[in-house]
Structure 1
Amino acid sequence: MIEDSIKYQTQGDSWLKRILIGGLLLFPGVFLIIPLFTFNGYMLEVMRRVMGGDTLNPPEWGDADLADLTVDGLKHAVIVLAYTLVVLLVAGIPFFGLVLAGVGADVGGLSVLGFLIGGLVYLVGALALAVVLPVATGNFVRVDSISAAFDLDVLRTLVTNGTMLKAVVFGFVVNVLMQVVSSILGITVVGYLAVPFLVFAGQSAIFYIWAEGFSDAYEAEYGEPPLAGVGGTTTPTAATDETWGTDTDTTVEDGGFDDDDRTDDRF
């Protein structure tokens, strides 16, 4: 899974152009927030495509609607912000409560205890967020609705799924590798300029892993793919594929069953 995710953006004839455009979005993104939303929207499109079963054809910038990508990225930012605020709020209650109580009562021990408990709660919350957010993101992509990211039934079901947990761990591994390589490249000016392009490929790999984990876990738990036939390969059916119709006609001409015979045999 990790190897396939890392190679994902190197597929296709225009892979270099795709990575260059993705990396360039991060340069103005330091000063302008909109390119970051567009960048994030592209990652959601990667997730949507992989969840639909297509792991061989990364989204092309030329085929994308940048306005839609930007809006999707903004929606996802709202989801991440909401979850982050919950973690900060829960961690902040003991932190500010005990710190203020310690200051008011002039008891330094309470302030220190507030720092420790608040820090511990924040750490636990951050770890929980790292597990919940990929599931929330996957369900947001599946339904294309912000409210789906807070679907407690799906969250409870998939957060504890072994396949999804493995995907979270693999995504974390890729993120660590990306950070390490970025730090090494950042030592030189040329290397520093290459970092955004590495981040583009690395983030794409993480969303690829999340998508495969979510798709496999969802199908295992609910008995159907999250995005059956969307953006991926589908198996033609007799009702829609012209080849099947041609075969049927040939069978009749060769002396096979006609329509009435087939009807009788069915019943």
Structure 2
Amino acid sequence: MLEDALSYPTKGDSGIVRLLIGGVLVFFSWLLVPVFLVSGYLVRAAAAVSRGDEDPPALDDWGGLLVDGVKATVIAVAYSLVPAVIFGGMLVVVVGGGSAGGNAGGLLAGVGLLGMLLALPAVLVVTYLLPAALINFAREESLGAAFAVSTLKPVLLSRQYIVATVIVFGVSVVGGAVLSFLSAFLVGIVIAPFYYFWLGLASQFMFGRAFAEVANTRESATPAAAPVADD
């Protein structure tokens, strides 16, 4: 899967042009609209892979990509609410404890800091859940599909998805280290937007392939309905 993922971003017609356009969009991400365009394209690519497409989809239909990107952002925000609420609540406790002073205030601040640390596992869980949720959203073209537990659960608990997550993490760490080294020579700064777009597509390929393997297994295991006999 890794070899296929690494070559996926440049496959198909105009693969290099696609990578260049994607890198330019990432470069201008501070304008926000390019962020939605890239997000919309990445979720479409992952959904296409989950349906068995070997090449990335065309980088066009800008209006549709923008809408998909906004919807993907809404889903990401919804998933992030739990860790955000935990972190924000504990931050209030820390500030309140510091303002109160004394032993009670110190104890309150300590409890708040501990709670903020507990928010980290929630962030990791959301990071793990989100790719599968976004793929199902794009596959079904429905916001509700991003929260369909019955569909997402077998994917999230599958060996394929866990392996994909580990590989994406490993590639991100290695690639990030190389990019940091190159940044010392300014080369990394120039290629960074294109690298992150390439990494996004490669990652989506791995998650999409894992989703497809689980989905195909479930479909093949579902017995076909018996034909109705004519009277």
TM tier, smaller: 0.7 to 0.9
Q: Who is 1:34 aligned against?
A: 33
Q: Counterpart of 2:191?
A: 194
1:9–1:204 contact (8 Å) kept in structure 2:
yes
2: CA distance, partners of 1:134 / 1:152: 14
The alignment status of 1:109 with 2:107, answered yes or no, reads yes
Q: Tell whether 2:40 aligns with 1:44.
A: no
Aligned residue number for residue 205 of structure 2:
208
Shift of residue 137, structure 1, vs aligned partner: 1.3
- What residue number does 1:253 align with? none
Picking from 130, 146, 149, the partner of 1:149 is 146
Max Rg structure: 1
Alignment of 1:95-244 (within 5 A): 95-97=91-93, 100-101=96-97, 103-104=99-100, 106=102, 107-119=105-117, 121-220=118-217, 222-223=218-219
**Structure 1 residue 148 displacement after superposition:** 1.1
Query: What secondary structure, in the 3-state scheme, does the structure 2 residue paired with 1:25 have?
Result: helix
**Alpha-carbon displacement from aligned partner over 1:218-264 (angstroms, at most 9, x marks no partner):** 233x3259xxxxxxxxxxxxxxxxxxxxxxxxxxxxxxxxxxxxxxx
Q: 1:75 aligns with which of 63, 71, 77?
A: 71
Aligned in 2, Cα 1:218/1:103: closer, same or farther, shift over 3 Å?
farther
Corresponding residue for residue 246 of structure 1: none
- Superposed displacement of residue 98, structure 1: 5.9
TM-score (norm 1): 0.75
* 1:205 aligned partner, one-letter code: A
Shift of the alpha carbon at 1:216?
1.1
How many residue pairs get aligned? The number is 219
Structure with greater helix percent: 2
Q: Which runs of 5+ in 1 are unaligned?
A: 226-267
Q: CA deviation at 1:100?
A: 2.5
Question: Do 1:34 and 1:70's aligned partners in 2 also have CA atoms closer than 8 Å?
Answer: yes
**Aligned 8 A contact 2:47 2:136 in 1:** no
> CA 1:224 to 1:95, structure 2 compared with 1: closer, same or farther past 3 Å?
farther
Alignment-derived partner of residue 25 in structure 2: 25
Q: Which one is further off, 185-194 or 42-51?
A: 185-194
Q: % of aligned pairs identical?
A: 33
Give the letter for the 1:148 counterpart: A
Deviation at 1:18, TM superposition (A): 1.3
